[in-house]
Amino acid sequence: MVSTLGRNAAAMTKAGLIALAIPAVSHGQQTGNAPAQPAQAGDAELAKKLSNPISDLVSVPFQFNWEQGVGPNDQTRFILNVQPVMPFTLNEDWNMIARVIVPLVSQPALFEGGAPASGVSDVLTSFFFSPSGEGGMTWGVGPVISLPSTTEPTLGTEKWSAGPTVVALKQQGPWTYGALWNQIWSFAGNPDRNDVSQMFLQPFLAYTTQSLWTITIQSESTANWEAEEDKWTVPINLNFAKLSSFGPFPASYQFGFGVFAAHPETGPSWKVRAAIVILLPRRR
Compute how many other C-beta atoms are within 10 angstroms of the C-beta atom of residue 24: 36
What pLDDT score was predicted for residue 4? 43
What pLDDT score was predicted for residue 254? 96
What pLDDT score was predicted for residue 40? 53
What pLDDT score was predicted for residue 249? 87
Strands (E), the chain: 57-70, 75-82, 85-89, 94-107, 117-120, 123-131, 138-147, 159-172, 175-189, 197-208, 213-219, 221-224, 232-246, 249-262, 270-281
Cα–Cα distances in Å, from 168 out to 145, 178, 204, 263?
A: 19, 6, 10, 26
What pLDDT score was predicted for residue 53? 74
| Full set of structural domains in the chain with CATH | 2-281 (2.40.160.40)
What pLDDT score was predicted for residue 281? 65
What pLDDT score was predicted for residue 283? 58
What pLDDT score was predicted for residue 43? 74
Beta carbons of 85 and 53 less than 8 angstroms apart: yes
What pLDDT score was predicted for residue 135? 67
Beta carbons of 13 and 107 less than 8 angstroms apart: no
Tens digit of pLDDT per residue, the chain (284 long)? 434 444 444 444 343 333 333 333 333 333 333 333 334 556 777 777 777 777 778 899 999 999 999 999 999 999 999 999 999 999 999 999 999 999 999 999 998 988 999 999 999 999 999 998 766 789 999 999 999 999 898 999 999 999 999 999 998 889 999 999 999 999 999 999 999 999 999 999 999 998 889 999 999 999 999 999 999 999 999 999 999 988 888 899 999 999 999 999 889 999 999 999 998 766 55
What is the phi-psi region of residue 257: left when phi exceeds 0, alpha when psi lies from -120 to 50, beta otherwise?
Answer: beta
Compute how many other C-beta atoms are within 10 angstroms of the C-beta atom of residue 42: 10
> Sign of the C-alpha dihedral, residues 73, 74, 78, 79?
positive
